[in-house]
Homo-oligomer: A and B are copies of this chain.
Amino acid sequence: MSRQRAFNRDVVLEIALREFWRHGYEATSVASLTAAMGIRPPSLYAAFGDKRRLFEEVVERYQRSHGAFSAVAMTEEPTAREAIARLLREAAAEYTDPGHPPGCLVISAAVNCGPESADVQEAMRELREAGKAGIAARIAADAVAGLLPEDTDAGALATFYAATVQGMSTQARDGATRRDLERIAEFAMLAWPGERAGALEGMPENLEGTRAGRPAVR
């Protein structure tokens, strides 16, 4: 019994994802959504509930697809150094992929919100904080393993790389190329504890010990 729907739920969900990605939560109207998805409002509400639940489903889909690289990088690399480098490298590629809108949906889709969607804004903020916490945990793991200087501040370092990723997202939305973002990534990696120590390769042993854990030079 019963009629079957004439559209593919996953296909139109991906279309909604890109609409929210490009214009953001509030700026994307149900009218523009249905027009892009090729369906009428009753079909959207029957399949996804309402605009807010559609956006929530979009965010979940985003985190399992386009936005999954961050968490994956934290777990698949042998060291925090390589995990962060991969995070930045893949963000450069992902944020400028011409196959979809630029930048990161979690970073940019709920920035300008009125009081009635403040909870959506807060939900995105919590996702960003969770991502930063994941970076901090990966760095802290290497710190306790003795792979980083004793005075390494995992939280502060994670905040720096989270900010770097967020800056890359903004730059991508402003038209920066993949190469532009890769150069941002390279500069950011120069702040890694002990980085640029290559300049000391082959130096006398009595100076070798000054490589890591040195406080920032003013």
Q: Are B189's CB and A160's CB within 8 A?
A: no
Residues in B with CB closer than 8 Å to A153 are 183
Q: Are B184's CB and A159's CB within 8 A?
A: yes
Q: Are A112's CB and B25's CB within 8 A?
A: yes
Q: Are B171's CB and A162's CB within 8 A?
A: yes
* Range for the number of chain A residues in contact with chain B: 35 or more
Closest beta carbon of chain B to A160's beta carbon, Å: 4
Partner of A196, one of B108, B109, B129, B217: B217
Closest beta carbon of chain B to A104's beta carbon, Å: 10
A114, A195, A199: most-surrounded residue (chain B CB, <10 A): A199
- A188 touches B (CB below 8 Å): yes
Closest beta carbon of chain B to A184's beta carbon, Å: 5
- A174 touches B (CB below 8 Å): yes
Residues in B with CB closer than 8 Å to A196 are 195-196, 214, 217
Residues in B with CB closer than 8 Å to A7 are none
- A78 touches B (CB below 8 Å): no
Partner of A160, one of B110, B125, B166, B188: B188
Q: Are A160's CB and B187's CB within 8 A?
A: yes
Closest beta carbon of chain B to A17's beta carbon, Å: 15
List the 3 closest pairs (A to B, CB-CB), nearest first: A24-B112, A163-B167, A167-B167
